[in-house]
Amino acid sequence: MPKSEGLAGGRLNASVRWSLRLMGPLLAACWLISALTGCTTGRPLVLPAGWRSPAPHEVAQEWRKDDPLRFLRVGADFNGDNVMDEARLLVKTDASGMALVVFLSNARGFTAVILDQIDEPGWLDAMGIALAAPGEYRTACGKGYVDCEPGESEELMLQRPAIDYFKEESANSFFYWDDRAASFKRVWISD
């Protein structure tokens, strides 16, 4: 089973290695350049109104140094359309909250979808995102952390990459694309 808990540095290394193997050398080089420079596919990525990227002083926590992107941005083909999408942690322009936003690629550029929003200041200090590789994962209810809700599975099988949304050294959940619902679903992996 892929590692889904533990120190954030392990997340990055596993994610980068998995991405490089899956994408092939040329696409991997393009992805790495785009991730490090903040560019995406050359198409405009417009932040939703009222949101901005975090300022450097807002993401200066020691644990973020394990990731060149500070655990603020990941890219993959989340919805299976063979085009790179991107997920980012954003801050309200007045710094009163934060959100996990995914930018799904489309013919005109990207469509921004807010997956989670926390309307309290300070949460960005502890929240991060990483890439969850395809594979089988035991969910929080499958580990016995919480009771399984009706219809909730003890295991999750990811067919493609997902967004690992975590609180540093604490809980994490995956946001993955559900083809039937044509939207993202959230599954808790740890509490």
Which are the contacts of 61, defined by CB distance < 8 A and separation ≥ 6? 125, 126, 168
Which pLDDT score is estimated for 191? 79
**Confidence band of 55 (pLDDT split at 50, 70, 90):** very high
Model confidence at 179: pLDDT above 50? yes
Write down the pTM of the prediction.
Answer: 0.80
**Confidence band of 3 (pLDDT split at 50, 70, 90):** very low
More confident residue, 5 or 74: 74
| CA separation for the pair 35, 176 (Å, rounded) | 20
Mean pLDDT over the full length of the chain: 83
pLDDT digits (tens, 9 = 90+) for 69-114: 999 999 999 999 999 999 999 999 999 999 999 999 987 789 999 9
DSSP for 132-167 reads EPSEEEE-TTTTTSSPPPTT--SEEEESS-EEEEEE
CB 139 within 8 A of CB 147: no
pLDDT digits (tens, 9 = 90+) for 103-156: 999 877 899 999 999 999 899 999 999 999 999 999 999 999 999 889 889 999
Give the CA diameter of the chain. Answer: 45
Which pLDDT score is estimated for 152? 87
Which are the contacts of 153, defined by CB distance < 8 A and separation ≥ 6? 139, 142
Model confidence at 26: pLDDT above 60? no
